[in-house]
Amino acid sequence: MRSSYDYIIIGAGSAGCVLANRLSENPDVSVLLLEAGPTDRSLWLKVPAAFIYEYTSPRHNWLYHTDPEPQLDGRRVYCPRGKVLGGSSSINGMAFVRGQPQDFDSWAAQGLPSWSYARCLPYFRRMETYSGGEDEFRGGNGPLNIHRPAHANPLHDYFIEAVQQAGYPLSRDTNGGQQEGFGPMDQSIHKGRRSSTSTDYLDPIRKRPNLTVATGCHVTQIVLEGNRTRGVEALQAGKLHRIEAGEEVIIAGGATNSPQLLMLSGIGPAEELRRHGIDVVSDLPGVGANLQDHWAFQLQQECTRPMSVNPEMSPLNRAKNGLRWLLNKDGPAATNQSEIAGYVRSRSSDRPDLQICFMPLVFNYEKMRPLAPHGFLLFAMPLRPTSVGRISLKSADPLEAPSILCNYLETEKDRRDMIELFEICRNIVAQPAFDPVRGGEIDPGPGVRDKADVIRFVKNHGMSTHHLCGTCKMGIDPMAVVDEQLRVHGIEGLRVIDASIMPTITSGNTNAPSIMIGEKGADLFAGRKPLPAEDVSTS
């Protein structure tokens, strides 16, 4: 590393790699990309089915946990976060979900007109090459390769018939004009390999002379003079470096690490900072507030016919499938097994607010073992929870993990949505289409009968979907941290660009909108004219 660069990007994750690519397109500016984790050369990061092993990898994962959650009887919930080039896009489940047009229009309605769906859609299109073909919604020339799965397992056909019998429509493209209904669940996979922002945005441009990528580099604070950003301090191999930024410092550490770094640097709730002996540079009460996530459960069902992929998880078959993947990049190891998803409305909603994903297996992720010889599961989550948590500091030590509290199921609405979603899932499995293959319910089992049972089940066995966002929210209200251009309020030369800037969580998995934020933010930061708005019909 040199002692100074024009732009310093902190975090080589879903948005950080995008930004490094786009900013370094200008050969006249120098860009430094800092990542606390290692490179992403491990084979486990390339094989789609191996994401379950990266789920607990200390090499590529921050391994965070929440504080004891009050509504979950004190459970501490596991929060994996990517600590590697590509960030969480290198370790996640590879589900590619944009969300709904109304998600972004609601941002615009909060005083952020340039973040409407019509103004975000061009960036969704610019970032992708979609295997299903380019159209008015989908991109055909972008860096990120997105795969439309083919539904090879016969259990998918039973599920598609069952949802139609239950009264739900099909959707040709849930990332296109109509999210509502059931259809293929797009995957961040290309030719059998994971597509992360590191592989698709960073690898092709690593040799640009104006781009420096530094791994194993933990930023400890932003260097400020008054309200002006001067650079960063970072630890690498036990040595503390001070690096100056001629133009801007851009934080892309995600919903946990971005607010933590702001607070460590004296930007955040004054009382919180003083409690840890940190000098207050800017009293921004919204830093770390507004934490949102999706809470989910799994309904797991035994299958009476040998149709599921469970046998592929035996040690011998894992070895065979691994060899097949090495030779051909296909087979069971070349997919995440999440190939169909649906979006339905609860009784109180005028648009889809519940997601159901189907997988032809039954598996315990904590114990890493199958639950039956054959089976299938419905992975389900309400899309727009109203329970809100926070990120705060445990101490002024930059190497200590932040305090995370999500407050899952805090509101009556969230509990009510869970009950309704559970009933919908059971109703789908009970449809005649499943009669030839339906065995007994494995999880939660027949002992869960009434609403109180359901709530106990989702409290004790529900899980985070790892969609943390909102902790440096964009807006114009007193709790906003960044403005419409992602500039930190009251601080010159400092911006944030990742899922933490979302005012409200999007209706689905959050990696795709995080990458879009990177694309759109890059034009803002580089002073380029924004892409023209695209008004398309979504009815």
Q: How far apart are CA 203 and CA 191, in angstroms?
A: 17
Q: How far apart are CA 178 and CA 153, in angstroms?
A: 25
Q: How far apart are CA 266 and CA 273, in angstroms?
A: 7
List, in order, residues 6 or more apart from 3 with CB less than 8 Å away: 242, 243, 244
Taking alpha carbons only, the member of 234, 287, 336, 191 closest to residue 490 is 287
Taking alpha carbons only, the member of 402, 528, 489, 422 closest to residue 64 is 402
Amino acid at 521: G
- By CB atoms closer than 10 A (0-12, 13-18, 19+), residue 226 is exposed
- 466 tagged catalytic: no
Residue 460's CB: how many other CB atoms inside 10 A?
12
- In three-state secondary structure terms, 152 is coil
Q: Choose, from 147, 151, 241, 467, the residue flagged as catalytic.
A: 467
Cα–Cα–Cα angle for 300, 303, 306, rounded to 5 degrees: 135
Six-digit token pair at 318? 């894992």
Handedness of CA 439, 442, 446, 451 (dihedral sign): negative
Tokens 């979302």 appear where? 502
Taking alpha carbons only, the member of 7, 3, 11, 486 closest to residue 208 is 7
Six-digit token pair at 291? 């934490």
Q: How far apart are CA 501 and CA 472, in angstroms?
A: 5
| Contact assessment for residue 495 and residue 488, using Cβ atoms and an 8 Å cutoff | yes
- By CB atoms closer than 10 A (0-12, 13-18, 19+), residue 225 is exposed
User: Any idea which residues carry the catalytic annotation?
Assistant: 467
